[in-house]
Amino acid sequence: MQRQGKGKIINISSGTALSGSPFFLHYVSSKAGVIGFTRALAREVGGDNICVNSIMPGLTISGSNQEAVMTAEQLADRRKRRCFQRDQYPKDLVGTVIFLASDDSDFMTGQSIGVDGGMNMH
């Protein structure tokens, strides 16, 4: 990236870094760390015209593994707390990732973008 004079780094954090989740201290802390890492790295490599941003997805249904993480009642409660009251799927993240990887975001760095259907607002 330094040799080519520009680059894009897109980190994956989580909306839980903003809201917290009880009994998931290790997960919440690690995702908050990704936000701090994103900001610090953006300052370190900004002079090389490298953009560093992160996305903060909400709970994303990516297969049957969700049943092991949350009950059907917990998933329904999660939907109710979003502005868009439906489940989130990987395809909901694609547009934001494409934008951050494109030239359209060349003057954007150190940012964390929530993509969670309006669950967390900051």
Name the residue with tokens 């954007």: 108
Catalytic-labelled residue, pool 1, 2, 20, 27: 27
Instruction: For residue 8, give both structure tokens.
Output: 């894009």
Distances (CA, A) of 35 to 4, 55, 85, 89, 99: 26, 9, 26, 22, 18
Cα-based angle 63, 22, 78 (whole degrees, multiple of 5): 45
Residue 27 annotated as catalytic = yes
Cα-based angle 27, 16, 120 (whole degrees, multiple of 5): 175
Catalytic residue IDs: 27
